[in-house]
Amino acid sequence: MTIQAYAIDVKNLTKRFGDKLVVDHFDVKVPKGKIYGFLGPNGSGKTTTLRMICGLLTPDEGEGTALGLDIRTEALEIKKRIGYMTQKFSFWEDLTIRENLEFVATVYGLDHKKQRVDEALTKLNLATRQKQLAGSLSGGWKQRLALAACILHDPQLLLLDEPTAGVDPKARREFWDEIHKLAANGLTVLVSTHYMDEAERCHAIIYMSYGKLVTQGSVQDVIQGAGLYTWVVQGENLMSLAATLEKLDAVKTVAPFGDSLHVSGTDADSLKAALTPYFDNPAYDWHQESPSFEDVFIRYMADAEDNFLAKKEAG
Amino acid sequence: MFFSFRRSAAVLVKEFIQLRRDTVTLRMIIMIPVIQLLLFGYALNTDPKHLPTAVLSYDNSPTAHTVIAGLKNTEYFSIEQDIHSEQQGQDLLRRGEVLFVVTIPAGFERDMIRGQSPDLLIEADGSDPVAAAGALSAANGMLQRILNQELTGPLAKLQQSPPAFKILTHRLYNPEGFTRYNIVPGLVAIILTMTGIMMTALAMTRERERGTMENLLAMPISPLEVMMGKITPYVLIGFFQSALIIIAASLLFGVPIIGSLWLFFAALSIFIVCNMALGFTISAAAKNQTQALQLSIMILLPSILLSGFMFPFLGMPIWAQYLGNLIPATHFIIISRGILLKGSTFIDIWPHLWPLLVFMVAITCIAILRYRRTLD
Ligand SMILES: Nc1ncnc2c1ncn2[C@@H]1O[C@H](COP(=O)(O)OP(=O)(O)O)[C@@H](O)[C@H]1O
Ligand SMILES: [Mg+2]
């Protein structure tokens, strides 16, 4: 195998279900040892993309490599070297934690099976529950089991599909600490998520919408690249103000954050001009802020929806 | 394709653990054979006609021809071949190609005219007593009457001097005509079809329905390995159930076991693999467990109705026999009745063993080809 800078390098990935184009000529490049966040609204094709990368779905078009191996022809070799955590819990609920891990260890043909399983149990704090049936675990513990099982064979690449959906903040935190520890040892991670704080913990993010790449890069790059300008307003009766502001052409998104509203637009001057009439109102307190990642995220979501509606009307 | 015993064994162990925790299924595995055995232990009554018969005639007289025509006219006997030796008749009976051998002794007409009441021998395959019973009583009654009508001219006086000849019936293999004897080997086939196909089909669709299939597919394990691991526990269960039925049958009903049990279990293995592979194929076609069950029943029903389990196979219409021949259970029922009740040997069962082998190989190939390696 030649030395590869990218753990994942795929081009033009395309997948149709029936006549529905779910992934549309999509490129992904993830450098080795990095954690990449995979973002996008529900149904945008993230799961489908991850499945194509690990050989669970055959792409209709496009090609590329995972860990330097061709995703079309070397799926079996890829499977040996990657860990894939499915969106829906997919371990056997009528097996205990230990039995699940032992099954995985045997299938991957690991040496010192018992020892490896013991280590994995200790590392993820599962040792005391090892005899519990997987089906009786709560969401957070299930995620831990799934993570333990997909890193058991020391994969070089992890594909995690919404690994922390429905998990409490403490467990999420621990989960991410673990991911960072793994990445520090050279593991590459591509993780799909809906959480902003998780996206901000990634080296870079990839934003996908309706099967297409919208933007990618570090969180800072993405925020700057969005070309978004945000005004923050505090005061009384913000909801009725929000309703009024949303109607303005220069305003792209209005999002409540606690006792304030974030009002964003793509053109600084016209946004300011549009908002000026409201600056003098003593009930409100205005100031400009650099947009948060969440503002950007909301804007991309809104854009995607507009595009989708426009396409629907056209078609 | 690659195969590793270790990976296959991992699936097998997993399957056993899951089965051990599934108490409902475990109970069914034991209860279904026992309950069915008791239920079907009672005779099923049917009155089949046109049963294949061979005639061994040592007398070429008009009277002998009249007798044969008379047998035909009862509609119970379908005279398919003339044979020339007793050995030939015995072979046909043992292979199940005919249900009756009618022997007309030498000098039949002459002895009749002399008033010596010659014997007309009808040997019946008693291992299918339902089929034999109706035909034999028809032979007794109808023949007498037909002869009375046909005997004219110089033979007319014989009408008065009873009896012109005697019909000797001779049941082979199952002299008492016990239906339950016949039911037991058939029941093994039906129970194995039922549990084999359904359990395998469900075991696979369950993985898909619960989402664990995605995980299994993401692991480096080949279809053959998954299939072997999944099937083996159910093969063992199949052996267990068969042994249970045979032991229960011999204890409860005193069913004799005449042939070689080794030969029986060898044929059994082939039959079990046929069913498992069928179940596996069904699971590839079914989207969920409900569909898998429906498809299993679609195979199960003809296996019960057209295999000779319920109705004597040779008494069925020809088109139904053609269909029945495409069902593994049909062949296995003939094989197991042959071995257990008649002591058939390998040579005797071969005509039904090779279709099973062909079926096994074909359906296993289909099962492996149809196994989806991706989620597409
Ligand atoms: N097996 C499938 N058959 C048909 N449609 C599918 C299948 N899998 C996914 N889809 C559709 O493809 C779209 C993208 O799904 P998915 O990749 O799961 O998105 P995401 O993970 O970003 O939420 C959805 O509209 C979904 O309904
Ligand atoms: Mg998804």
Provide the CATH number for the domain around residue A261.
3.30.70.250
Q: What pLDDT does residue B317 have?
A: 83
Show the tokens assigned to B93.
């009976």
A166, A193, A217 — which closes off a domain? A217
C-alpha pair distances (Å), A109 with each of A152, B218, B219, B220:
11, 15, 11, 10
Q: What pLDDT does residue A1 have?
A: 46
Domain coordinates in residue numbering, chain B? 5-44+177-370, 51-158
Question: Do A43 and A79 sit in the same domain of this protein?
Answer: yes
Question: Do A310 and A229 sit in the same domain of this protein?
Answer: yes
- Starting at the edge strand found earlier in the chain, the sheet holding A204-209 runs A82-85, A157-161, A188-192, A35-39, A204-209, A212-217
Q: Searching chain B, which residue's CA lies closest to the CA of residue A153?
A: B219
Least confident of A44-58, A107-121, B126-140: B126-140
A236 CB-near residues (< 8 Å, 6+ apart): A283, A284
**B43 pLDDT higher than 70:** no
Question: Do A177 and A230 sit in the same domain of this protein?
Answer: no
Q: How far is the CA of A250 from the centre of ligand 2 (A)?
A: 33
- B-chain CB neighbours of A84 within 8 Å are 218
Instruction: State ipTM.
Output: 0.85
pTM: 0.78
Q: What pLDDT does residue B73 have?
A: 79
3-class DSSP assignment, residue A201: coil
Question: Do A251 and A286 sit in the same domain of this protein?
Answer: yes
Mutate to test the interface with A, among B14, B202, B375 (most CBs of A within 10 A): B14
Which among B262, B296, B259 is positioned nearest to B279, based on CA atoms?
Answer: B296
Question: Phi-psi bin for B112: left (phi > 0), alpha (psi -120 to 50), beta?
Answer: alpha
Question: Do A162 and A260 sit in the same domain of this protein?
Answer: no
Residue position matching structure tokens 């954690």 = A35
A189, A217, A245 — which closes off a domain? A217
Question: Do A81 and A114 sit in the same domain of this protein?
Answer: yes
A193, A217, A241 — which closes off a domain? A217
Q: Could you report the per-residue pLDDT of B147-166, keeping only the tens digit for each?
A: 666 565 666 665 555 566 67
- Starting at the edge strand found earlier in the chain, the sheet holding B77-83 runs B77-83, B51-57, B100-104, B119-125, B166-172
Q: Taking CB atoms and an 8 Å limit, are B4 and A109 in contact across chains?
A: yes
| Averaged pLDDT for residues B236-246 | 89
Which of B6, B17, B215 faces A106 most closely, judged by CB atoms?
B6
The CATH number assigned to the domain holding A203 equals: 3.40.50.300
**Topology, domain B51-158:** abc type-2 transporter like fold (3.40.1710)
Which domain covers residue A252, as residue numbers? 224-314
Which of A54, A76, A107 faces B10 most closely, judged by CB atoms?
A107
Phi, psi of B128 (to 5 degrees): -115, 75
Question: Do A34 and A15 sit in the same domain of this protein?
Answer: yes
Q: What pLDDT does residue A62 have?
A: 94
Mutate to test the interface with A, among B4, B25, B214 (most CBs of A within 10 A): B214
Residue B32 near chain A (CB below 8 Å): no
Cis peptide bond N-terminal to B163, omega within 30: yes
Question: Do A138 and A263 sit in the same domain of this protein?
Answer: no
Residue A47 near chain B (CB below 8 Å): no
| Averaged pLDDT for residues B183-193 | 86
- Starting at the edge strand found earlier in the chain, the sheet holding A20-31 runs A20-31, A6-17, A61-66, A69-70
Q: Could you report the per-residue pLDDT of A185-200, keeping only the tens digit for each?
A: 989 999 999 888 899 9
Question: Do A99 and A119 sit in the same domain of this protein?
Answer: yes
Instruction: Evaluate whether A13 touches A64 at the Cβ level (below 8 Å).
Output: yes
CA–CA separation, A93 and B221 (whole Å):
20
DSSP strand pairing (A229-235 vs A188-192): unpaired
Higher pLDDT, A311 or B60: B60
Residues forming a β-bridge with A233: A261, A286
Higher pLDDT, B326 or B373: B326
- Percent of chain B past pLDDT 70, that is, above it, reads 86
> What torsion, rounded to 10 degrees, do the Cα atoms B218, B224, B226, B232 define?
-170
Question: Do A87 and A204 sit in the same domain of this protein?
Answer: yes
Domain total of chain A: 2
Which among B287, B293, B265, B271 is positioned nearest to B200, based on CA atoms?
Answer: B293
| Averaged pLDDT for residues B210-233 | 89
**A244 pLDDT higher than 80:** yes
Q: How far is the CA of A164 from the centre of ligand 2 (A)?
A: 12
Q: What pLDDT does residue A296 have?
A: 87
Q: How many CB atoms lie within 10 A of CB A61?
A: 13
Higher pLDDT, B128 or B19: B19
Q: What pLDDT does residue B195 have?
A: 84
